[in-house]
Structure 1
Amino acid sequence: MTFLTRPPTPFRRLGLTGSIGAGKSTVAALLRARGLTVLDADEQARLVTDEPETLAQIGLAFPGTVRGGVLDRPALGAVAFADPARLAQLNAIVHPRVRARMAALETQAAARGARWIVQDIPLLFEGNLEAGMDAVLVVDAPLEIRVARVMARSGLGREEVLARDARQMPADEKRRRASVVIENAGTREELGIQVDAALQTLGITPELPRA
């Protein structure tokens, strides 16, 4: 198990991550049901990309993806995910704003007395953010299960899902860097048992009765 050093704070951070289709959002919901504060980087990114200043920058960098003050997310995804350099350009616009929002939400949670704060970040390792965590929980599932899940929820084709997965850090490397790995190939009940075991391993006490 790997715990990473970071400057002391009134609370501790648990990084939550996993490859595309692993079921990280389901684990996040189970953690919330156990009373933990979970901050969702994807949710904050969606909010950030609704802000006029962010939209203006995206519109300049990616012409045609902002129409009438509204972001065309599929069009932006098609452009950004097709080219690593363009994706890096988009991330340079969005990620600093997301980090600022996450930091503000952490401050609010700490003021409420949260002892552990979960940061749900899909690209935690890719963004070199693990050094800011006290522990990292990785959710994983076999590749074919992950691909099927993403295809079912998004309408993307198999090759497109595989291409997006290939742009992330390999699942095996994420597992190697994890403090705890949760295997999400079974039922939600089985997943809940693993979540409870992971919290026990990490010394995290649920702050509300289990839902």
Structure 2
Amino acid sequence: MSAPPAPPPPRRLGLTGSIGAGKSTVAALLRERGLTVLDADAEARAVTQDPAALAEIEAAFPGVVRGGVLDRAALAEAAFADPARLARLNAITHPRVRARMLALEQAAATRGERWIVQDVPLLFEGGLDAQMDAVLVVDAPLDLRLARVTARSGLTAQEVLARDVRQMPAEEKRKRATFVLDNSGDLAGLERQVDAALAGLGIQLPAVSGQQEESPSQS
């Protein structure tokens, strides 16, 4: 007896935005509406807890792994100052992150989900927008984004700007978006924009909200 056919892959809704724009807030709203959100940052953190990945990172960036634990601040200082070194780090981590995201996507397909959200900070910079069926870009004015990040992180405005300039300009992201969510107002206004975007894409929300994605490493 032949095996049943594999379920069709869900369609991909990319979610991205510049630092401080409110991407995490939108991700939470999408989860509340019952959509599975795959968080590339969370999967990247999981990857850097894997002994094999840690060994490669330590070999490329001596001293950033201490007692079997990654010193993220030291790694950022070592990698982000040099494009070549950043490319080396990405070569170690990105294939592993993609594999984890694909496993989560396949699990969503098995559950019969028609759409999944891929929350990827550097979606356009990494060329991953080409793999999406639609893209939501969250945006807000630069001064508001700076105020948000400095208030929550302890970073200075100069440090936030240094990170922001390494990303694609917000205006270019807006041009490439399927829908732009303006997060310069209140939460209710943002929710209305999210609902309008989902309706515009014809996304039918599950009857039960609050669904959470499961990592391949979890039971």
TM range (shorter): over 0.9
Matched, 1:105 2:97: no
Deviates more, 1:176-185 or 1:200-209: 200-209
| Alpha-carbon separation, structure 2, partners of 1:205 and 1:150 | 33
| Alpha-carbon separation, structure 1, partners of 2:109 and 2:135 | 19
Aligned residue for 1:50, secondary structure, equals coil
Structure 2 contact 35–209 (Cα < 8 Å) conserved:
no
Q: CA deviation at 1:209?
A: 6.1
Aligned residue for 1:113, secondary structure, equals coil
Alignment match, 1:17: 16
Partner deviation per Cα, 1:120-175 (whole Å, 9 max, x = no partner): 00111000011111101100010111111111222111111101100000111100
Letter in structure 1 aligned against 2:124: F
Structure 1 contact 81–164 (Cα < 8 Å) conserved:
no
Matched, 1:47 2:69: no
Larger radius of gyration: 2
Letter in structure 2 aligned against 1:93: I
Q: CA deviation at 1:210?
A: 6.8
Alignment match, 2:83: 84
| Alpha-carbon separation, structure 2, partners of 1:13 and 1:64 | 38
Letter in structure 2 aligned against 1:207: P
| Alpha-carbon separation, structure 1, partners of 2:207 and 2:14 | 20
Structure 1 contact 39–105 (Cα < 8 Å) conserved:
yes
Aligned residue for 2:161, secondary structure, equals helix
What TM-score results when the alignment is normalised by the length of structure 1? Answer: 0.93
| Alpha-carbon separation, structure 1, partners of 2:195 and 2:146 | 26
What TM-score results when the alignment is normalised by the length of structure 2? Answer: 0.89
| Alpha-carbon separation, structure 2, partners of 1:101 and 1:209 | 25
Partner deviation per Cα, 1:174-201 (whole Å, 9 max, x = no partner): 0000000000111112111111011111
CA RMSD of aligned residues (A): 1.2
Matched, 1:179 2:149: no
Alignment match, 1:164: 163
Consecutive unaligned residues of structure 1, counting only runs of 5 or more, are 1-8
Aligned residue for 1:17, secondary structure, equals strand
Aligned residue for 1:117, secondary structure, equals strand
Map residues 136-151 of structure 1 onto 2, 5 A cutoff.
Answer: 136-151=135-150
Aligned residue for 2:127, secondary structure, equals coil
Letter in structure 2 aligned against 1:146: R
Alignment match, 2:191: 192
| Alpha-carbon separation, structure 2, partners of 1:52 and 1:194 | 42
| Alpha-carbon separation, structure 2, partners of 1:208 and 1:164 | 39
Structure 1 contact 41–98 (Cα < 8 Å) conserved:
yes
| Alpha-carbon separation, structure 2, partners of 1:161 and 1:83 | 17
Structure 2 contact 31–209 (Cα < 8 Å) conserved:
no
Partner deviation per Cα, 1:48-75 (whole Å, 9 max, x = no partner): 0000001011111111110010000111
Consecutive unaligned residues of structure 2, counting only runs of 5 or more, are 1-7, 211-219
